[in-house]
């Protein structure tokens, strides 16, 4: 894809995610059900954190494209390295995890992740913007441009560390409020919850490996190794 076309795409994607993040953060407070948006606000939901993550990623990607267009190659190289690390370690695996895990649990029992009371607060289009559109955007990014992946051990350690921080945030919120971020967690014993978190970590690791595999199949081995 031509750099100018890529820059346009990344700019539009950034604007889209900024708009979606802005929309969810400005849901009218008087319309919110009492059981949601309490301690931690929207910042306790992985879906919302992912929206901000995607906006940051596409903003960095757009900056890299602009630097390449104006021939600031030294600066562009540094920004591209940050872009690739952000995409490989976080943007692709997290967006894939958010979309697939949400719709799997929603299909099984929506009350575990997205209570029906939210239908009157969050419009249908916004629900799909947060949980559906993120997946094709992630795949399209791989198709649009090659990304350099770090050494697998380094990538998985970084992803695991971020996942650990989010789990700590979830547990902290429970210790303060006595309420789980997602009703699903209340179904587990402490051992069961630990097993669920471990299983989720294994799943998101598999999405990291899947993204690396797709990148290699489309762009070749030489394109993504440091």
Query: pLDDT tens across 60-70, in order?
Result: 999 999 999 88
In a domain, 187, yes or no: yes
Confidence of residue 34 (pLDDT cuts 50, 70, 90): very low
Mean pLDDT on 168-188: 92
In a domain, 206, yes or no: yes
Q: Is the pLDDT of residue 38 over 80?
A: no
The Cα 194–Cα 103 span in angstroms is 22
In a domain, 208, yes or no: yes
Confidence of residue 224 (pLDDT cuts 50, 70, 90): very low
Q: Is the pLDDT of residue 73 over 60?
A: yes
In a domain, 119, yes or no: yes
The Cα 139–Cα 49 span in angstroms is 19
63-71: long-range contacts, CB 8 A cutoff, minimum separation 24: 65/3, 65/6, 65/7, 65/10, 66/7, 68/3, 69/3, 69/4, 69/7
Total number of domains in the chain: 1
Q: Is the pLDDT of residue 32 over 80?
A: no
The Cα 120–Cα 33 span in angstroms is 9
Q: Is the pLDDT of residue 212 over 90?
A: yes
In a domain, 71, yes or no: yes
The per-residue pLDDT for 74 is 82
In a domain, 224, yes or no: no
Q: What residues have CB less than 8 Å from 63, skipping those under 6 apart?
A: 79
In a domain, 57, yes or no: yes
Residue from 207, 88, 206 nearest 155 by CA: 88
Q: Is the pLDDT of residue 222 over 80?
A: no
- CA distances, 127 to each of 16, 78, 103, 166, 203 (Å): 14, 35, 11, 22, 23
Q: SS3 string of 121-164?
A: CCCHHHHHHHHCCHHHHHHHHHHHCCCCCCCHHHHHHHHHHHHH
Q: Which residue has the tokens 């906006």?
A: 55
Above pLDDT 90, what percent of the chain?
A: 73
The per-residue pLDDT for 223 is 47
Mean pLDDT on 169-193: 92
The per-residue pLDDT for 33 is 53
Q: Is the pLDDT of residue 166 over 60?
A: yes
The Cα 136–Cα 21 span in angstroms is 18
In a domain, 156, yes or no: yes
pTM: 0.91
Range of the domain at 126: 3-219
């Amino acid at each position: 894809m031509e750099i100018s076309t890529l820059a346009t795409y990344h700019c539009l994607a950034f604007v889209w995610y900024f708009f979606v993040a802005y929309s969810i953060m400005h849901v009218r407070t008087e319309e919110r059900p009492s059981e949601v948006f309490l301690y931690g606000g929207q910042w306790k939901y992985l879906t919302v954190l992912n929206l901000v993550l995607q906006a940051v990623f596409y903003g960095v990607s757009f900056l890299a494209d602009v630097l390449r267009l104006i021939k600031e190659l030294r600066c562009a190289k540094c920004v591209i390295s940050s872009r690739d690390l952000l995409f490989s370690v976080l943007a692709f695996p997290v967006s894939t995890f958010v979309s697939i895990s949400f719709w799997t649990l929603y299909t099984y029992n929506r009350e575990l992740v997205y209570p029906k009371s939210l239908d009157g607060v969050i419009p249908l289009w916004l629900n799909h913007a947060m949980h559906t559109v993120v997946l094709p955007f992630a795949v399209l990014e791989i198709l649009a441009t090659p990304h350099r992946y770090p050494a697998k051990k380094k990538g998985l350690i970084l992803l695991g560390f971020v996942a650990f921080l989010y789990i700590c945030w979830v547990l902290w919120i429970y210790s303060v409020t006595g309420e789980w971020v997602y009703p699903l967690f209340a179904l587990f014993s402490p051992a069961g919850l630990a097993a669920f978190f471990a299983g989720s970590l294994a799943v998101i690791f598999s999405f990291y490996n899947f993204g690396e595999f797709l990148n290699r199949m489309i762009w070749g081995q030489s394109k993504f190794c440091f």
